[in-house]
Amino acid sequence: MVPILLLAVVALAFIGMGSAGAKGAPAPRPVGPGLPPPPQPAPQPVPASSPADGGITVTPVGLPSPGITPGTIFGERGQGIPTTSRQAAANAMNNELARVGGFRLYDQPVYKAYQSAAGLTTDGFPGTHTMNSLATDVAAMGGTLASVPIFAWKSRTGTMQDYDGVNAPTAAEWLTPAPN
């Protein structure tokens, strides 16, 4: 009888301590329905650098971005950040077309990079297939295609006569020297 009584006294003493146990630590705060959740920390703003220090201002996707120039997607005047090599190549080509306002022979490496990333024929001549693919990729990223004409780039004579402003850019546009 004494061992059972002793066991009962020890059990009552332990229960009297609550869930703190024998160490004397305070009991944890109860959690359950009707109790408010603990406060969450406020989201931190995205740091933005200024164009003066050579940085890129980032506007989170989904928020309106004032002053977006047609033909630009990313960087100072656009939104988002490319996440794939194809998006980066599309961004580079579209921004270059917008920057120079047309097609230039010296930009062929940019055109080839996009064509390669998009799985197109990599010839450096941004014809109908390349530009339609670019338009789709740019739109999927929330941007606008640079305001340039879309040429077929089909050679009829194999000479500079094909650079007529209808089939391809004019020879003067295409052969414009690269800026220093």
Q: 112-142: per-residue pLDDT in tens?
A: 999 999 999 999 999 999 999 999 999 998 8
How buried is residue 57: exposed, middle or buried, by Cβ count under 10 Å (0-12/13-18/19+)?
middle
Q: 50-71: per-residue pLDDT in tens?
A: 444 444 444 444 433 444 444 4
Give the residue among 162, 142, 139 at the shortest CA–CA distance from 151.
Answer: 162
User: What six digits make up the tokens of 8?
Assistant: 């009962």
For tokens 């630009």, name the residue: 72
- The residue that leads in pLDDT, 156 or 123, is 123
Q: How many C-alpha atoms does 17 have within 13 Å on its Cβ side?
A: 13
Asked whether the beta carbons of 130 and 114 are under 8 A apart, the reply is yes
Q: The pTM is what?
A: 0.57
Task: Identify the H or E element spanning 17.
Answer: none
CA pair distance 123, 54, nearest whole angstrom = 33
For the four alpha carbons of 112, 94, 177 and 158, in that order, the dihedral sign comes to: positive
